[in-house]
Amino acid sequence: MMAIKDKYIVVLGCFDTKGEDFSYLVNCIKARGQQVITMDTGVMESKADFTIDVNNEQIADASGTSLVTIRKSGDRGKAVELMGKGAAKVISDLVEKNKIKGVIGMGGGGGTFIALEAMQEVPMGIPKLCLSTLAAKDLSRQIGVKDITLMVSSVDVAGLNSVSKLLMNQAAAAICSMSEVLLETLDNSKKRIAISTFGNTTKCVDKCTQLLKSKGYEVLAFHATGIGGATMESLIREGIFDGVLDITTTELADELCGGVLSAGPTRLTAASDMRIPQIVVPGCLDMVNFSHINTVPEAYKLRQLYSWSPDVTLMRTNKEENENLGELLGTKLNRAKAGVKILIPLQGISQIDCKGGVFYHPAINEALFRAIKENTNNAIPVIEVDAHINDGAFANVLVEHLLSMIEQKNKG
């Protein structure tokens, strides 16, 4: 394809419809002393005035088809899908050869999709930036768990003007600066714990973190916002953790009830598959998360709702939902191939699930706890602790059990 002697910033996009824009962006990057690899993901003839290192025919071939076939089909949606697939394959090959120090793309709907699809193949820590007309929209599905920086283009990427030139120059400066930050090699000998957190479990998480750090562990906290839980699961599968303290499993409730913070069906599976010691707590299963109050689905309008903030509305889970959640949690953990324990704080599972709290319903919690015990196999200890989830005493018990499990595993 090409001879590469050093690390490069990859510039990818549709050079057919946005050749003038990409010519300017490439010049901005080169003016800062950086070397580039240019990748044309457009399906028609390029309008760029720079050398194209990976042309659109090569991108199409990498997708398993040909540029001729894509052009003949006349199917724009399929073309975007295939060029994204091909770009991802080319990027993956470059990553494997350790040739990439950064990736930048820009465009509208199609160009953004292709750029984000290709960036999925770039490991965490290598900067990825997309200047997009869609940056202000919800692109969480396309971004997934990747550390991609989105930058609003303000005007369409459709020819140079004073605004687009300014923002392209800034985007070039950003990717060049980020690419010069030395990427530290992950020290796999370091002791690490993954921990899930939420505003409603912060006190517990903070105490556990303090205790674990005092024992020499590095603690990585993941906000249980859907993408946070999915990222934690992804990193667990990379094998960088010694143990998992899954204190905040609220994303299961959003998955069940259609809330906005679902982490998808694979939540609570990675530690089990990777044989990593894990402690699981039904933290914040008393709530489902929605955005502004007027976004709550019609079916839930008459349920118990609580405004956590102007843009966060919490719905109290009911008895039936808690029975389903207990079954779901138990079923997921029954597949565990290594040590797992479930710890239940009997006095409440969130900050607002306590005596006098707006979500305090002991009878509903009891339905959850009973369902967990009934649906968990006998090999998994279910330990009830007479404390609230945010009590220091509960944090002490959590850390004590996790460290014991890690020690037992290390002894082999």
pLDDT digits (tens, 9 = 90+) for 42-101: 999 998 899 999 999 999 999 999 999 999 998 999 999 999 999 999 999 999 999 999
Torsion, Cα 255 257 258 260, to 10 degrees, reads -70
Identify whether the C-beta of residue 267 lies closer than 8 Å to the C-beta of residue 233: yes
**Are both 8-179 and 192-411 of the same fold?**
yes
Beta bridge partners of 9: 36, 102
Residues 6+ apart with CB under 8 A from 278: 243, 244, 245, 246, 271, 272, 336, 339, 340, 341
CATH architecture of 8-179: 3-Layer(aba) Sandwich (3.40)
CA 312 to chain centre: 20
CA distance 210 to 205: 9
CA-closest candidate to residue 130, choices 144, 116, 145: 116
CA-closest candidate to residue 10, choices 92, 101, 96: 101
CA distance 141 to 100: 24
Q: Locate 6 and state its tokens.
A: 């050093």
Residue with tokens 């004073």: 162
Long-range Cβ contacts of 70-77 (<8 Å, 24+ apart): 70/43, 71/43, 71/44, 76/110
Quick check: pTM over 0.85? no
CA distance 46 to 25: 15
Please tell me the predicted confidence (pLDDT) of residue 2.
41
Please tell me the predicted confidence (pLDDT) of residue 326.
98
The one-digit pLDDT tens for each residue of the chain (412 residues) are: 343 348 999 999 999 999 999 999 999 999 999 999 999 999 999 988 999 999 999 999 999 999 999 999 989 999 999 999 999 999 999 999 999 999 999 999 999 999 999 999 998 889 999 999 988 777 878 888 889 999 999 888 888 999 999 999 999 999 999 999 876 655 566 799 999 999 999 999 999 999 999 999 999 999 999 999 999 999 999 899 999 999 999 999 999 999 999 999 999 999 999 999 999 999 999 999 999 999 999 999 999 999 999 999 999 999 999 999 999 999 999 988 778 999 999 999 999 999 999 999 999 999 999 999 999 999 999 999 999 999 999 999 999 999 999 999 988 7
Domain 192-411 belongs in CATH node 3.40.50.12030: yes
Q: Locate 374 and state its tokens.
A: 């009934």
- Helix, strand counts (H, E) of the chain: 14, 14
H/E stretch holding 76 reads: helix 76-96
H/E stretch holding 290 reads: strand 287-290
Please tell me the predicted confidence (pLDDT) of residue 159.
87
Please tell me the predicted confidence (pLDDT) of residue 402.
98
Going from N- to C-terminal start, the domains of the chain cover 8-179, 192-411
CA-closest candidate to residue 317, choices 368, 356, 267, 371: 368
Please tell me the predicted confidence (pLDDT) of residue 263.
94
Residue 383 φ/ψ, nearest 5 degrees: -110, 120
